[in-house]
Amino acid sequence: MTFPFSAVVGMDDLRLALLLNAVSPAVGGVLVRGEKGTAKSTAVRALAAVLPPVDAVTGCRFGCDPAAPDPGCPDGPHSAEEPSVRRPARLVELPVGASEDRVVGALDLERALTEGVKAFEPGLLAAANRGVLYVDEVNLLHDHLVDLLLDAAAMGTAYVEREGVSVRHAARFLLVGTMNPEEGELRPQLLDRFGLTVEVAAPRDTALRAEVVRRRFAADADPDGYRAQWAASESELADRIAGARARLPHVVLSDAALQQVTSVCAAFDVDGLRADLVTARAAIAHAAWAGRLAVTEDDVRVAARLALPHRRRRNPFDAPGLDDETLEQALADARPDDDGPDSPDSPDDGPPTDGGDPSGGQSRDNGPSGEPSGGPSGGQSRDNGPSEGSQEGRSRDEGPPSREPTTAPRGEGGGHTDAAPAPEKAAVAPDAPFRTRRLEVPGIGAGAAGRRSRARSERGRVVGSRHPDGVVTKLHLSDTVLAAAPHQRGRGRSGPGLRIRREDLRQATLEGREGNLVLFVVDASGSMGARSRMAAVKGAVLSLLLDAYQRRDKVGLVTFRGDMAELALPPTWSVEAAAARLTSLPTGGRTPLAAGLLRAHEVLRVERVRDPQRRPLLVVVTDGRATGSRGGAHVADAQRAAGLLAAAGTASVVVDCESGPVRLGLAGALGVVLGGQTLRLGELGAETLSGVVRERRAA
C-alpha cells in the first residue's frame, strides 16, 4: 500500500522540499539524508500519488505531452491529431545495481551494424519523463551514473551514444535521492548538483512516535478504509499543487529579493553560482506554494535553509548545516531601508488563495478524528512498520554502537616486557590532513568502479577485444573490421564497404580503476603516546581516510592497545565515522600487535565472503614494537600473525612510525613478513614522492 502523503507525521522540512520540487522541478530535486527507518521512502512514494495526472501521447514510450510534444522524440514526430491518454504521474525507482544501459537505454549495435536499423530500447530516464525518479541509497550508486542522472535532470534531456550512433529524448523529472550518511557521503561536486537537501531523524517525542505507530497499524489493518479516510486531504493537496504550478510563471522576484538571495549565498561562502540560482528558484516556488505573486524575505529564508547546507561542505569531514545568526544577518544586510510595496519583507495582500499556512505547511491543524493534519503541514510515517524503527530511539548524541573487543593472544612481544600497564592518555587532536601518495593493490581486479587500483571495468581505456558473451555494449571497431575483412569476397562483397555478420563483432575490453576495502590497523599503545607523535600519526591516517573517500573505497578501523584489539569501525563507506573514531582514540598501555593483526585477518575473512570482488588493502600504522603481560617472543607472535595475512594474499602497507636516534627497524621487518610495502611516516605525502622522483631524474 502507498501511505497517504497527508497522513505522514512530522518531517515538515522534507515534505516542504518535496512539494517545492513538485511545484517547480527546475529547483533541481531533493537529497534526503537520514538514519534508517525514518520514512524517507514512504514520503517519496506518497508524493507521487498526489501529483496531478499528466496527458501523454498514446503509444509514445517517452510520455510526450500532446500539447507540446518533443520535436526530437525517437517515437515521433507527433501530430496534434494523435490520440492521447490521461494517466497518473509515474514513480520510477532506480536500483543501486542498475547498469548504464538500464538507466539511459540501450542501442542495439548488432542490428545497427548488420541490418542498418537504429533500434533503441528506452531506459529508466525515459520512463520517468514528466514524473518522479527515485534513487534509494544514491550515495552507493556509481559516480558516473550519479553524474548522468544529474545532467539529465538539469538539462531535461538524455543522450545515448554508442560508436557514432546517438539518440536523444526528453527526460524531465523530479529527482529524489535518499541516503544514510553512515554508509558514506556523496562527493561535494555531486552534492552541489542536488537542488535541495533535508536532514531527517526519528521524532524523540514519545507522543509523536506513538502516533506514527498508531497510523501505521491503522493503515495495515484496513488499507482501503485508511486511504478513503484521507482521500479528501489528498485531493485538496493535489489541487493546491496544481494551483501553485499555474501561479508559478506569474511570481515576481524583485531586485530587492534577488539581492537578499545573493547576499545569503555570499555570506556562507558557497562555491559557484548554482546556489544562487537554486535558492532563487526555490524562493519563487515557495511563494507560489504559499499563494503569493511576489517573493518575500520569508521565501528567501526558507529557500536558503533548504538549498545551502550541503553546499558548505569543503571535504567529507565537514558537517552540513547553516548558522541561523549568519543567515539572519545576511538577510538584514540586504534589506532595503524603505518599507515600500516592493520591500521583500512587506506583508502580502492576503491569505493564500488555495488556503493553508503561508509559511509552506508548518501549521498543525487537526485532521480527521482529531489527528494532526496531514495536509500541507503533514509529517512522517513508517512504510515498513515498527519493526524497522526498533533502533530509532537512539539519539545521534549517544555515541557509537558497542564495539567488539578481542582479547590479545598471550605472546605478542618484542624483546622486553612492560613492568606495569602504562596509564591511558587523553585523545590527541590530529594534525591537519595532507594530500597522500596513491597506495594500490597489485594486479588487476574486477571490483566496483572506483579510483584506486587497476581493474577490468565497463569504463576506462581500451586494452583489447574479445568475442562478446551476449549483447555488444562497447564495440571494438578496428578489431571488428579486421575480423570481417578477410570474408568479404566469400560474402559476395566486391565494391566499397563491408558486410558484417554477428561472428565478426568484437567487444572492447576496458581497463579502469576499482574501489578497494582499506582496513586501517592503528597502534594506540603507550609507545605511540608521545603527544606530537600521535598527532602526526592521526593526521596521516586522516589523510589516508580522505584519500580513500576520494577514491571511493570502503574503510574499516582496527585499533590495539593494552590487552586487546578492537574493531573500532566495521567496514563501511562512511569515512566520517572512521574520522570520528580516530579523533577520539585514546592511547596508552601495552602493544598487542599480534592481536591487532589477527583481528584484521578475521575482519578481512568475513568481508571476502560478503563482497568477494572487492580486494582489500591493509594499512598497518605502528612502530613495530610488540609487548605483552608476560615475557616471551612477542615479536615472533606478531610475525606469525602477519604470515597468516600474507598467506591469504592480502596486499599490505606498513607505515613505520618509529622515531628517535635509535631505530630497531621492527616495522620494516613486519612489512617484509607481510610481503608488502613499508613507508616512513614522512613518506606518505604526494609532495614527498614527487620530490623523490625529481631527485632521481636529476641524478
Q: Which residue type is seen at 502? A: R
Rounded CA-CA distance 11/34 in Å is: 11
Whole-angstrom Cα distance, residue 415 to residue 399? 38
- Which helix (H) or strand (E) segment holds residue 179: the answer is strand 174-179
Q: How far apart are CA 140 and CA 448, in angstroms?
A: 10
> DSSP assignment, residue 613?
T
Closest by CA to 566, choosing from 557, 554, 575, is 557
Query: Count of CB atoms within 10 A of residue 154's CB?
Result: 15
Contacting residues for 313 by C-beta, under 8 A, at least 6 apart: 188, 191, 320
Q: Which residues pair with 34 in a beta bridge?
A: 200
Match 524517507 to its residue by C-alpha cell: 40
User: CB within 8 A of 480, min separation 6: which ones?
Assistant: 113, 465, 500, 504, 505, 506
Query: What are the residue ranges of helices labelled H in 24-119?
Result: 40-50, 100-104, 109-114
Catalytic residue selected from 168, 187, 274, 410: 274
Q: Is 274 a catalytic residue?
A: yes
* Consecutive H or E run containing 167: strand 165-170
The angle, 0 to 180 degrees and rounded to 10, between the axes of the packed helices 255-267 and 297-307 is 30
Q: How far apart are CA 145 and CA 100, in angstroms?
A: 7
d(CA 482, CA 582): 56
Q: To the nearest 10°, the Cα dihedral for 460, 464, 468, 474?
A: 30
For residue 273, give every residue at least 6 positions away whose Cβ sits within 8 Å of its Cβ, in sequence order, or none.
Answer: none
CA–CA gap between residue 98 and residue 142 (Å, rounded): 9
- DSSP 8-state symbol, 90: P
State the amino acid at position 342 in one-letter form: D
Task: Please state, in angstroms and rounded to a whole number, the distance separating the CA atoms of residues 169 and 160.
Answer: 9
| CA distances from residue 430 to 95, 521, 532, 570, 576 in whole angstroms, order as listed | 38, 17, 9, 21, 14
Q: Which grid coordinates belong to 193?
A: 548538483
DSSP string covering 482-493: HHHGGGTTTTT-
Helix (H, G, I), strand (E, B) or coil at 324: helix
**Distance (Å, whole) CA 255 – CA 230:** 41
Burial class (CB in 10 A: 0-12, 13-18, 19+), 348: middle
Which residues make Cβ contacts (< 8 Å) with residue 574, sequence separation at least 6? 181, 182, 183, 184, 185, 555
- Positive or negative CA dihedral for 691, 692, 696, 699? positive
Amino acid identity for residue 66 in this structure: P
Nearest to 9 by CA among 38, 36, 30: 38
Q: Which residues are catalytic?
A: 274
